[in-house]
Chain A
Amino acid sequence: MAEFPSGSAPRLRAAVVGTGGISSEHLRFLAASARAELVGVCDMSRVSVEHAASTYGTTPFRSLDTMLVEAQPEVVHVLTPPSTHIALSETALESGAHVICEKPITLNSPDLEALLATADRSGRRLIENHNYRFNPEIEHLDGMVAAGVVGDIGEIEVRMGLPVNDPAGRFGDPNLPSPIHRLPAGVIHDFITHLTYLVDHFATEVDWEVVDSRWSCHGGVAHVPVDDLDSMLIGTGPDGAVHARIRFSALLAPDCFEITVRGSKGYGQVELFSGRVSEVIPRPGGKQLSPIVNMLVGGVSLFLGGPRSFKRKIMQQGPYVGLERFLDLTYAALASGSEPPVTTADMLRTSRLVDRLVAGRSRSDDDRAPAEAAR
């Protein structure tokens, strides 16, 4: 480990593996952060890694082993396709680096437990990127819950709509079928970690007794075997029963990423792609006036949402805005040795819930088999 002058904030030596689309978000943070010193970037593509290195002012490597030896990173960001996460993370952990890994960190919870054991043996942290937990809209919901205006949480709904069948998109392109479709949850495996940890975020103490998931292929695209998830969760938390719904659709427009948290007093709803926030909560004036005040406040919020949305677009503040905060908090924790903002427990609960959701895929296929045979 590098040594830092006493009294100064330590800057951790950071390196990145993988220069795909998400890497620019990590590299931009690392190049600008006072908490990190970007010491290398690694990819099998020479031109891609050279471009990333020159753009962000670091050293390009074609091999992780070489980068670990020569650049000696203290933190490695694993940003490669999911099927490569375990091997690359193990190598980095065993070299003595902490690992921040893109989701899904592994494809099932036993693999995650094994990888966490490797991290333990190496005395290093393994942290999955749960960036949306740190978006301002989610933190707004956190504030509502903490202030008690939602009451006891009774229902959480997470809904995502993305046109993953679009032949012009990276998942729907028939010329180069993405390997993501071979994952247990198909293309939805690329998103299911986000959907699941956002439910978990508001239900950390809930014991889910029912997890019923239905997986479908509504788009009829040959190389996209699954493009729709509808799931119902019922559990019990400290304050009573909690329901949750996780929904993914490829056909409904417009694109959306909506989270609703309903409680015994009111609800909050946010949309992460547009930044929209709405609240229906008890207002001054009691039961009689609260609906009117909620409508007035909602109207003003919607009105102001237009300029806010315009500003987000112009200032290029996309839905990844939470990633910078997640990384900043993570680096602060790694430097101080405190618990990272995404804990091992957060990752395990999420992964185990994903396992239960994915288990429904085979049940969905079994349920449909008689109808399809009849056709």
Chain B
Amino acid sequence: MRVLVTGSTGFVGSAVVAEALHAGHDVAALVRPASKAPFASIADHPKLRLVRADLRDRGSLDGVFSDIDVVIHLAATKAGDFATQFAGTVLATENLLDALTDSPVSRLVAVSTFSVYDYSSMPAGSVLDEDSPIDTHPAKRDEYAQTKLIQERLYREELARRDVVIIRPGMIYGRDNLWHALLGGELGPVFLRIGGRSILPMTYVENCAEAIVNAVDAPDVAGATINIVDDALPTQAEYIAALSRRTDIPKSVGVPWPVMKATAKAVAAVNDRFLQGRAKFPGIIVPEKLDGRFKPFRYSNERARRLLAWTPRFGLDEAFVRSLGDTDLVHARATEQQ
């Protein structure tokens, strides 16, 4: 298949490009105009070509999709204020979908996020899967969740024109991304480890990339939404213990989940009662944001295994070894014989 990958130079995107090459696809990696030497280690791969364009600039996308069968859309903006994330995630997607009009692209593999779920409405300890409710009133969630929810709405509208598969990965970890936001948060100079017993909805980046690439030609997935989490998910405490055995971890202070939840509720009550709800506090003391990161749930990857014929290749320990090693994982996977 002729596959174009947006967000290709990112943490997940580069793994997806490598995986797509490994799978034998002809890969067009969309890179931004000022990206310097992207994919240097596989630049001479016969099935890889670079396409320079910026999704925020509709004009730069003209003709880009004229010889593409499937688009894997990963590009998003995760930082900055709402306007910045809206432009980098929502308007970029609007431009992309507009540029797909009259193109031969038959399938869009749209990569979304676990952040779209309505964690606060679900009972703690319940199973969070693809049928769980998404947040319909996300005003108190962060900009990332808000913009990804709008983006998903665009994907569902696009179903009228072509196959769309929505992939929702959990927290993606891997090299340089081992200490992450589901473990806790910074409050000034202190890192608070929040909770410890919550199961982490994680997927190792190479496992996740394989699931995403499997969606390129998987049958019977049009219109499907598929969560991606690995097998044998660790709790927060188990993850930190395993990580600390292999590498140094940041100094932190533990706070039990019930204490943090009660604190956030108290702050919210004060905000509503005395400040008309207008005050904006750090995310870890906003109940809706706190629930989205630390509330305990159980998770399933049954649908991903069934629809994508996917099995996570790497367990936690092997993922740590690969993440902390110095092998060029992109080169290794892209050039590995099937």
Q: How far is the CA of A314 from the CA of B94 in the complex (A)?
A: 33
Which residues from A are CB-within-8-Å of B279?
314-316
Contact with A along B56-92 (1 / 0, CB 8 A): 1100000000000000000000011111101000110
Contact assessment for B280 and A314 in the assembled complex, using a CB-CB cutoff below 8 Å: yes
- A300 interface residue per 8 A CB criterion: no
- A46 interface residue per 8 A CB criterion: yes
Q: Which residue of A lies closest to B84 (CB)?
A: A170
- A63 interface residue per 8 A CB criterion: no
Which residues from B are CB-within-8-Å of A46?
94
Contact with A along B272-289 (1 / 0, CB 8 A): 000100111100000000
Contact assessment for B281 and A20 in the assembled complex, using a CB-CB cutoff below 8 Å: no
Contact assessment for B280 and A175 in the assembled complex, using a CB-CB cutoff below 8 Å: no
Contact assessment for B34 and A174 in the assembled complex, using a CB-CB cutoff below 8 Å: yes
- B332 interface residue per 8 A CB criterion: no
- B32 interface residue per 8 A CB criterion: yes
Enumerate B281-316 residues with CB–CB distance to A below 8 Å: 281
Tell me which of A20, A48, A314 contacts B90 (CB under 8 A). A48
Contact assessment for A314 and B86 in the assembled complex, using a CB-CB cutoff below 8 Å: no
Contact assessment for A315 and B278 in the assembled complex, using a CB-CB cutoff below 8 Å: yes
Q: How large is the interface on B (under 10, 10 to 19, 20 to 34, 35 or more residues)?
A: 20 to 34
Q: How far is the CA of A176 from the CA of B56 in the complex (A)?
A: 8
Enumerate B19-66 residues with CB–CB distance to A below 8 Å: 32-35, 54, 56-57
With known contacts A176-B57, A314-B281, A315-B275, A47–B154 Cβ distance under 8 A: yes
- A21 interface residue per 8 A CB criterion: yes
Which residues from A are CB-within-8-Å of B255?
none
Contact with B along A36-66 (1 / 0, CB 8 A): 0000000001111001000000000000000
Which residues from A are CB-within-8-Å of B275?
315
- B150 interface residue per 8 A CB criterion: yes
Which residues from B are CB-within-8-Å of A45?
91, 94
Q: How far is the CA of A74 from the CA of B18 in the complex (A)?
A: 57
Q: How far is the CA of A45 from the CA of B80 in the complex (A)?
A: 21
Residue in B56, B83, B84, B279 whose Cβ sees the most chain A Cβ within 10 Å:
B83
Q: How far is the CB of B263 from chain A (nearest CB, A)?
A: 16
With known contacts A21-B83, A176-B56, A316-B280, A51–B91 Cβ distance under 8 A: no
Q: How far is the CB of A19 from chain B (nearest CB, A)?
A: 9
Q: How far is the CA of A49 from the CA of B250 in the complex (A)?
A: 43
Contact assessment for A51 and B54 in the assembled complex, using a CB-CB cutoff below 8 Å: no
Residue in A20, A21, A176 whose Cβ sees the most chain B Cβ within 10 Å:
A176
With known contacts A21-B83, A316-B280, A47–B33 Cβ distance under 8 A: no
With known contacts A170-B84, A176-B56, A176-B57, A51–B150 Cβ distance under 8 A: yes
Main secondary structure, interface of A, reads loop
With known contacts A47-B154, A51-B150, A176–B278 Cβ distance under 8 A: no
With known contacts A314-B279, A314-B281, A47–B56 Cβ distance under 8 A: no
Q: Which residue of A lies closest to B31 (CB)?
A: A175
Which residues from A are CB-within-8-Å of B94?
45-48
Q: How far is the CB of B100 from chain A (nearest CB, A)?
A: 15
Contact with B along A99-125 (1 / 0, CB 8 A): 000000000000000000000000000
Q: How far is the CB of B73 from chain A (nearest CB, A)?
A: 15
Q: Which residue of B lies closest to A44 (CB)?
A: B58
Contact assessment for B90 and A316 in the assembled complex, using a CB-CB cutoff below 8 Å: no
Q: How far is the CA of A51 from the CA of B91 in the complex (A)?
A: 11
Q: How far is the CA of A46 from the CA of B150 in the complex (A)?
A: 12
Q: How far is the CB of A198 from chain B (nearest CB, A)?
A: 24
Q: How far is the CA of A348 from the CA of B81 in the complex (A)?
A: 34
Q: Which residue of A lies closest to B36 (CB)?
A: A174
Q: How far is the CA of A352 from the CA of B84 in the complex (A)?
A: 33
Q: Which residue of B lies closest to A316 (CB)?
A: B280
Q: How far is the CB of A356 from chain B (nearest CB, A)?
A: 33
Tell me which of A51, A167, A168, A174 contacts B86 (CB under 8 A). A51
Contact assessment for B32 and A175 in the assembled complex, using a CB-CB cutoff below 8 Å: yes
Enumerate A294-312 residues with CB–CB distance to B below 8 Å: none
Q: How far is the CA of A296 from the CA of B102 in the complex (A)?
A: 72
Q: Which residue of A lies closest to B280 (CB)?
A: A316
Q: Which residue of B lies closest to A317 (CB)?
A: B278
Which residues from B are CB-within-8-Å of A315?
275, 278-280
Q: How far is the CA of A168 from the CA of B88 in the complex (A)?
A: 12
Contact assessment for A51 and B57 in the assembled complex, using a CB-CB cutoff below 8 Å: no
17 A–B pairs (Cβ distance < 8 Å), ordered by A: A21-B83, A24-B83, A45-B94, A46-B94, A47-B94, A48-B86, A51-B90, A168-B80, A170-B84, A175-B32, A175-B33, A176-B56, A176-B57, A314-B280, A315-B275, A315-B278, A316-B280
Known: A47-B90, A314-B281. 20 other contacts (CB 8 A): A24-B82, A24-B83, A45-B91, A47-B91, A47-B150, A48-B90, A51-B86, A51-B150, A167-B34, A168-B80, A174-B33, A174-B34, A175-B34, A175-B35, A175-B54, A176-B54, A176-B56, A315-B275, A315-B280, A316-B280
Closest CB pairs A-B (n = 7): A174-B34, A21-B83, A175-B32, A47-B94, A314-B279, A175-B54, A175-B34
